[in-house]
Chain A
């Protein structure tokens, strides 16, 4: 039974939570790209080293993780009251709060707000929420040009590419590829551009400076919102965030409802966890915090759009809801052996890697991302790396149980369960399994209709003798 007010998953046909092909197919293509694998290995190795060094500087890292995890669990347990409190405080400080049930509504709200300013262009701070809902496409359809100002987002946008990492969407590109993209697509770029990273960064600075100064509307996400003060925060590196959050007349912030934190004091935990887990810095270069509107300083019109888009559905599963604790640091991507080899595009969603494999299927409903819970070796490195201790491996197993399985597999598993419950039947089944030695040698796989099962895994070699037979026949001491 459904009724109005039941949690619902993110709608189809809008945004970027669903891929065009299942993970194994997409991954196969990515695995064939040796340049991509080299770029990813280099980048993830670098960040793991940096992050490990600055985490080791803190004697209380584990205690901070414990606190971060518990604060997030507390937030989820009383989300309605915290959201209402946040709304009240932001409104009292001069902001306007909007509620968006899904991607379509959020896109419509933002588009309408931009139209009312008369601006035909918006500058954007990197934001996972706006990528998730496909805001850029919606703005373009309305004749509004969104300009991504984060360097990696700019590389993706100019390269007509897709983001492949939560923190560094262009992680799959190396410096010489970035140079080629800039030479091809950046208006007014110096043709003598080299692939030296400071030179590439300077090119982005020159290209965007005039746009920052002349655009009247900015769109951002938020890393956190403080319920008891109405304060919002954006954590960044380049200063593009400061530009967007300071220069325009109007600021529109799109934020998932799970980003709220109860008190100002809780920031002392997350401002220590996030930079060290994310970019491997003691502190990121710039963090901007603002509370509503400050007369004479920064945007004089502030709109906060609170987004559900499937989050309430994630919250409804007690075994899956902690996926909402994610602070988008991407540490789990950087340590994941699967991500390091397949890259982010294989996951199909804007949320790649281990956290994506548990978040995307829950936001869309498991059936729409059925291959993702299997996009893991369950090695557990993500759990160890997560600054808020999300138990991703257990959640993956939980979600695998919710994936719709084909009838043949379901029947086979039911039969296996029946046999394993009956020792005599099991013993004879094991002896019968020796027959399989005749059916196929190791590596060959099973014949149809079971061949699908062995397409991605080796069939184990059956021993000449079962353990039970050996036990019965062994020489007694």
Chain B
């Protein structure tokens, strides 16, 4: 007998009493309950030590270049809108980890943002790139269009496509492992900058 059949047989035997369960009560606020509030998003992002800037599309490139620091090149995913791309930026065309890590900053778009939790979700679309490019650089600059912001977690779940690799980001890398206090800056990017488009 395979372990698969063994385990499934055990589980079926364990359920011989055929437990009857009630329908799941979903009385919580479902998707679509509230409209997204940009001010809430900004408040939550700042609370978890992300920095927020309101810029026009035309200002994205210069802002990202400035955030990459002096001499730091900006890494971009291959599908980033051309207008956002800073001068001297380099695109991820199957770059090695070393080349990715040496970026002064990585500049991406996002898929969805959740106001209530201050969360940005990346789904590896062409304007966001492979997961590795937002992981190794120390600075992540993420551009949000206001229509990408939803109110709550159920709204985000409803919008996202589960088959894609998803990365939910709430502030810079942090840990609560030392005396259960939140400390920013461990393995992921230690700086998260969110650019909210005003146009």
Let me know if A171 is at the binding interface, CB within 8 A.
yes
Residues of B close to A70: CB separation below 8 A: 21-25
- Range of interface residues on chain A? 35 or more
Residue A144 at the B interface, CB < 8 A?
no
For residue B198, CB closer than 8 A to chain A, the reply is no
B124 and A294 within 8 A (CB): yes
Which of the residues A237, A238, A298, A312 comes within 8 Å of B14, measured between beta carbons?
Answer: A312
- A315 to B164 alpha-carbon distance, docked (Å): 33
Contacts of B94 in A (CB 8 A): 296
B123 CB to nearest chain A CB (Å): 9
- Which residues of chain B come closer than 8 Å to A122, judged between CB atoms? none
Q: Is B73 an interface residue (CB 8 A)?
A: no
Shortest CB–CB separation between residue B179 and chain A, in angstroms? Answer: 6
Per the 8 Å Cβ criterion, residues 365-409 of A in contact with B are none
Give the contacting residue for B7; candidates A149, A294, A308; CB below 8 A: A308
Question: When the two chains form the complex, which single residue of B6, B154, B170 contacts A4, counting CB atoms closer than 8 Å?
Answer: B6
Which residues of chain B are near A413, meaning CB under 8 Å?
Answer: none
Instruction: Let me know if A77 and B7 touch, CB within 8 A.
Output: no
Bound Cα distance A342, B170 (Å): 34
Query: Interface residues of B, CB < 8 Å — how many?
Result: 75
Q: Is there an interface contact between B186 and A240, defined as CB atoms closer than 8 Å? A: yes
B15 neighbours in A (Cβ, 8 Å) = 76-77, 79-80, 315
What are some 8 contacts across the A-B interface (CB < 8 A)?
A4-B1, A73-B21, A100-B3, A201-B186, A229-B162, A282-B48, A285-B169, A312-B11
- The A contact surface, by secondary structure, is helix
Q: A168-B177, A197-B181, A237-B176 are in contact. Are A5 and B28 (CB under 8 A)?
A: no
A33–B23 Cα distance when bound, in Å, is 48
The verdict on A14 contacting chain B, using a C-beta distance below 8 Å, is: no
Contacts A239-B187, A264-B162, A297-B131 given; indicate if A170 touches B177 (C-beta within 8 A).
yes
A-contacting residues, B139-188, CB 8 Å: 153-154, 157-158, 162-188
Instruction: Verify if A212 is at the interface (C-beta below 8 Å from B).
Output: yes
Residues in B with CB closer than 8 Å to A308 are: 7, 10-11
- Could you say which of A57-65, A127-135, A418-426 contacts chain B? A57-65
Contact residues of B between 1 and 57, Cβ < 8 Å to A:
1-4, 6-15, 17, 19-29, 31, 44, 48
Instruction: Please state if B12 and A80 are interface contacts (CB–CB under 8 Å).
Output: yes
- Residues of chain A from 27 to 63 with CB closer than 8 A to chain B in the complex: 39, 42-44, 46-47, 50, 59-60, 63
Residues on B with beta carbons closer than 8 Å to the beta carbon of A136: none
The 6 closest A-B pairs by CB, nearest first: A239-B188, A5-B9, A239-B187, A238-B186, A312-B10, A316-B14
User: Roughly how many angstroms separate A301 CA and B76 CA in the complex, as a whole number?
Assistant: 26
Q: Evaluate contact between A43 and B180: CB separation under 8 angstroms.
A: yes
Task: Kindly provide the distance from the CB of B101 to the nearest chain A CB, expressed in whole angstroms.
Answer: 8
Contact, CB under 8 Å: B167 / A237: no
Kindly report which residue of chain A lies nearest to residue B166, judged by CB atoms: A289
Interface residues of A (CB under 8 A from B): 4-8, 39, 42-44, 46-47, 50, 59-60, 63-64, 66-67, 70-71, 73-74, 76-77, 79-80, 83-84, 87, 93, 99-101, 105, 149-152, 155, 167-168, 170-171, 174-175, 178, 197-198, 200-202, 204-205, 208-209, 212-213, 226, 229, 231, 237-240, 242-243, 246-247, 257, 264-265, 267-269, 271-272, 275, 279, 281-291, 294, 296-298, 306, 308, 312-313, 315-316, 318, 321
Give chain B residues whose Cβ lies under 8 Å from the Cβ of A288.
Answer: 131, 165-168
A197-B179, A200-B178, A283-B170 as given contacts; A74 in contact with B21, CB under 8 Å: yes
In the complex, what residues of B have CB within 8 A of residue A268's CB?
A: 31, 153-154, 157-158
A286 with B167: CB separation less than 8 A: yes
Partner of A313, one of B14, B44, B118, B135: B14
Q: Can you name the residue of chain A whose Cβ is closest to the Cβ of B9?
A: A5
